[in-house]
Amino acid sequence: SQTIHQWPATLVQPVGSPLSLECTVEGTSNPNLYWYRQAAGRGLQLLFYSVGIGQISSEVPQNLSASRPQDRQFILSSKKLLLSDSGFYLCAWSVGGVMNGYTFGSGTRLTVV
């Protein structure tokens, strides 16, 4: 079966510290992978998506970057966190095209203090 793993579940980081969030998918090949952020009480904001290894599309210019070093691995990073980076970070995947929708991971709740 296809599963998506996202960790950690919660994270508290000081302002100015680096960030690395990892997402891995099992049971499928060549998925489209996505990073979303949901600020408190807000909608989903697409940050990055990837259709293949090394292929990253950035939706919002900001303090974050993404990488896809392997087919089923997607990493979200920051060199220096800002208070405004706080939020609920969600990884999602789709296979066979987005027309079938996404499946989301369980998310990481990041609090920057």
Partner 1 sequence: QKEVEQNSGPLSVPEGAIASLNCTYSDRVSQSFFWYRQYSGKSPELIMSIYSNGDKEDGRFTAQLNKASQYVSLLIRDSQPSDSATYLCASYTGGGNKLTFGTGTQLKVEL
Q: What does the binding site for partner 1 look like in residue numbers (CB under 8 A)?
A: 32, 34, 42-44, 46, 49, 51, 57, 59, 90, 98-107, 109
Nearer Cβ to partner 1 (17/55): 55
Nearer Cβ to partner 1 (49/74): 49
- Cα 62 to Cα 73: distance, rounded to the nearest angstrom: 22
**Strand, coil or helix: 84:** helix
Exposure on the CB side of residue 92, measured as CA atoms within 13 A: 22
CB of 80 to partner 1, least distance (A): 27
CB of 101 to partner 1, least distance (A): 5
- Cα 36 to Cα 49: distance, rounded to the nearest angstrom: 9
Exposure on the CB side of residue 24, measured as CA atoms within 13 A: 6
Nearer Cβ to partner 1 (11/51): 51
Query: Closest Cα partner for 31 from 70, 67, 1?
Result: 70
CB of 71 to partner 1, least distance (A): 16
Nearer Cβ to partner 1 (16/103): 103
